[in-house]
Amino acid sequence: MNSLLPDPTASLLDRIKISMVGLKMPRAIEVVDICVSRLDRGEITGLELVEQLLLEEALLPCLGCG
């Protein structure tokens, strides 16, 4: 099995996190559980979850800007 591919027997959320590691998305990994909880409560849609993860990652380098 390719080491870059997540284990197909892992949970979907774990496979997503493994993919984020491969894509070097550390901030998104930190907030994915929070975003999934918001999705489960109906506060955001699936597309909004994806957007939030991408925004967290995009804003990471700018946090030290000022």
pLDDT digits (tens, 9 = 90+) for 20-50: 888 888 888 889 999 999 999 999 999 999 9
Q: Can you tell me the mean pLDDT for 2-14?
A: 78
The parent domain of residue 30 ranges over: 26-60
2 falls within a domain: no
47 falls within a domain: yes
What would the two tokens of residue 36 be? Answer: 């999934």
Compute the mean pLDDT over every residue in the chain, rounded to the nearest whole number.
84
CB atoms within 10 A of CB 21: 13
- Kindly tell me if the per-residue pLDDT of 63 is higher than 60: no
**Number of folded domains that form the chain:** 1
Contact 56, 27 (CB under 8 A): yes
pTM, two decimals, is 0.73
3 falls within a domain: no
56 falls within a domain: yes
Which pLDDT value is given to residue 1?
46
14 falls within a domain: no
